[in-house]
Amino acid sequence: MPLVPPYIAALRPYEAGRSSEEVRREFGLVRVIKLASNENPLGPSPLALERMRDATGALNLYPNGGLDLRRELARQYDVRVENVIAGSGSEGIMSNIIRAFLCDEDETLTTESAFIGFQTLAKSRGVAYRTVPYKDWHYDLEALAGQINERTKIIYLANPNNPTGTIFTRHEFDRFYTNVPERALIILDEAYFEYAKDNPRYPDSMHYRYDNVITLRTFSKVYGLAGIRIGYGFAHQELIANLLKVKLPFEPSTLAQAAGIGALADKEFLHHSLELNARGLKFLSASLQELGLTVVASESNLTMIVLPSEEQAAQLTTELAMQGIIVRSLKSFGLPQCIRISTGTDGENRRCVEALNSTSIRACVSVK
Ligand SMILES: Cc1ncc(COP(=O)(O)O)c(C=O)c1O
């Protein structure tokens, strides 16, 4: 008799991007540039670091479950503290949503090759996981609406999306929403919202106060705090109250909470990071297109390229790694012919393009 249920036995553990140390050792390199996990190449927000240092004196005490950060977010977004949750990254909160809302007979619905973190979490619950194909690398909201049935409990939408970097528009979301019954919960994962928020077509979900929508955001990306694990969510107070029942009581940690509060105040770092990213995205996508590659237009801090075959994508990933550039193979997402490149510093982006120029990529794309 197996110890775990079959849906756990069948799961593949979350596969993170390769670390710099791993690649350095494998290829005997001195310098490695990691453009694989959509992290901020500038490092962590300095104000976040300052607040973390200030908080160290209280590390002998249990934290207060994110209350200080929730209060600060409520103040800044003009909502009540009861509408806000803080957790160990947005994935921490996502895991609580899965625990709190899914029953055995429920179904989840999302796009094909959705963010791998959601795929893993949803499948770990053993309920039906249903998807619809992308439409030109965008969420096909019309097709998704057509797939909603009486068992659909969670609909997961990442906007901007990972791994494609694309967005759906306000207009598309409004039309989609009219098809969603009240008993289905929409997770609007806005991990990359800061990168898209100035696009007038982008539907900042804080403008929607729907009872069955939860917005998730994170400090992992533009604030450079992926390593401390801090994220937050906004929703109707009943929804938040239920999530608080299943959340680990002392999550997030004292340091993570302090980092979040510091980061929210760090407007200069935010501005600098967004500027660098916009420049990097433009440079990378123009350079990749010049090389003859198919690049998906991105509103995020990543660029997805589509290669003619799985073999060519794998070869390119390896050839880049050998030159000390780590990019993300999207095989584990279910897109083996695609790779994802995160924006780096100006120097890192240039180095990445130089490295690409010396791979066999030209021969590879001319096969198309
Ligand atoms: C769409 C999306 N959601 C959530 C996350 C995870 O965020 P966090 O670090 O806050 O758990 C990521 C990280 O890559 C992401 O791409």
Residue 102 to residue 362: CA distance in whole angstroms: 48
Q: Up-side HSE of residue 29: CA atoms within 13 Å toward CB?
A: 19
Say whether pLDDT at 192 is over 50.
Answer: yes
Contact between residue 130 and residue 154 where contact means Cβ atoms under 8 Å apart: no
Q: For 2-11, 183-192, 289-298, which range has the lowest pLDDT when averaged over its residues?
A: 2-11
Q: What ligand 1 atom has the least distance to the C-alpha of 89?
A: 10
Residue 140 to residue 290: CA distance in whole angstroms: 29
- Residues belonging to the chain: 368
In degrees and rounded to multiples of 5, residue 294 shows phi and psi of -85, 115
- 211 contact partners, CB below 8 Å, separation of at least 6: 182, 236, 238, 239
Q: What ligand 1 atom has the least distance to the C-alpha of 226?
A: 9
Q: Whose Cα sits closest to atom 8 in ligand 1?
A: 89
**Ligand 1 pocket, mutate which of 34, 189, 215 (most atoms under 8 A from CB):** 189
Predicted local distance difference test score (pLDDT) of residue 163:
97
Mean pLDDT, residues 319-340 taken together: 95
Q: For 140-149, 196-205, 280-289, which range has the lowest pLDDT when averaged over its residues?
A: 196-205
Q: For 22-26, 71-75, 128-132, 296-300, which range has the lowest pLDDT when averaged over its residues?
A: 22-26
Question: Residue 115: CB within 6 Å of ligand 1?
Answer: yes
User: DSSP secondary-structure letter at 32?
Assistant: -
Q: What ligand 1 atom has the least distance to the C-alpha of 161?
A: 1
Contact between residue 163 and residue 112 where contact means Cβ atoms under 8 Å apart: no
Question: Residue 38: CB within 6 Å of ligand 1?
Answer: yes
Residue 67 to residue 85: CA distance in whole angstroms: 8
Q: What is the DSSP string of 143-155?
A: HHHHH--TTEEEE
Residue-averaged pLDDT of the chain: 94
Q: Whose Cα sits closest to atom 3 in ligand 1?
A: 191
| Residue 367 pLDDT grade (very low, low, confident, very high; cuts 50, 70, 90) | very low
Q: Tokens 């899914």 correspond to what residue? A: 102
Q: What is the DSSP string of 238-298?
A: HHHHHHHHHS-TTPSPHHHHHHHHHHHH-HHHHHHHHHHHHHHHHHHHHHHHHTT-EEE--
Question: Residue 163: CB within 6 Å of ligand 1?
Answer: no
Question: Residue 299: CB within 6 Å of ligand 1?
Answer: no
Q: What ligand 1 atom has the least distance to the C-alpha of 220?
A: 9
Summarised one tens digit per residue, pLDDT across range 225-263 is: 999 999 999 999 999 999 999 999 999 999 999 999 999
Number of CB atoms found within 10 A of residue 75's CB:
12
Question: Residue 193: CB within 6 Å of ligand 1?
Answer: no
CA dihedral over 122, 235, 82, 225, signed as positive or negative: positive
User: DSSP secondary-structure letter at 135?
Assistant: B
Q: What is the DSSP string of 333-349?
A: TT-TTEEEEE---HHHH
Say whether pLDDT at 340 is over 90.
Answer: yes
Summarize the chain as % helix, strand, coil (round to 5). 45, 15, 40
Question: Residue 260: CB within 6 Å of ligand 1?
Answer: no
Mean pLDDT, residues 334-342 taken together: 97
How far does the centroid of ligand 1 lie from the alpha carbon of residue 363, in Å? 35
Q: Whose Cα sits closest to atom 12 in ligand 1?
A: 191
